[in-house]
Amino acid sequence: MSTSPDTADETGKKSKKRMFLLVSGGVIVALATLGVFGFQKFHRQTPVHDEKKAALTIVSIPTIVSNLDTGDGRARYVKITARVQTQGAPDAAKMALLMPQIQDAFQTCLHGMRPDEMEGVGIYRLRETMLVQIENILAPLPVRDLFFVEVLVQ
């Protein structure tokens, strides 16, 4: 049996079309795979193994006793003991020189607070405010956190 020229032409077109679809599908799969591996390689965060940065140090702030703003002339006091967590080992002499500035920042902030602001979320606000001020005072030394060890309101 002989095939007509039209049938041979259609069979050739179908095989070329099928070959084109297979090749283009393979190229798309290959590019997608390369894209995924490239994204993972270049966007993976590498851990920092610097010993100075990895060391966390806790520095105690001397106990602070301050009076609160009652508005009615009655004396109300707050006693706070806190610690600062720094990244890296601070120089003890430098910390001793900066401690009065930290205590002054606490005193200034506490003198403007009312006793009802020292309840609930007020402690969190005080912590956040003081954390920013301590970061500014210890500027080149990174401050990680501020911990209140004791908060007494009388």
Three-point CA angle 102, 50, 135, nearest 5°: 15
- Asked if residue 69 has pLDDT above 80, the reply is no
Backbone angles phi, psi at 79, to 5 degrees: -120, 125
Better-scored residue on pLDDT, 44 or 131? 131
Give 52 or 17, the one with higher predicted confidence. 17
For residue 77, the surrounding DSSP H or E stretch is: strand 77-87
CB 112, CB 69: distance < 8 Å: yes
Q: What is the pLDDT of residues 100-143, one digit of tens each?
A: 999 999 888 888 888 888 888 888 888 899 899 999 988 888 88
- The band of 45, judged by pLDDT with boundaries at 50, 70 and 90, is low
Give tens-digit pLDDT for 74-98.
Answer: 888 889 999 998 887 777 788 888 8
* Residue 79: predicted pLDDT: 93
* Residues contacting residue 141 through CB under 8 Å, at least 6 positions apart: 86, 87, 88, 90
Percent pLDDT > 70 in the chain is 83
CB 66 within 8 A of CB 126: no
Is the distance from CB of 76 to CB of 67 less than 8 angstroms?
yes
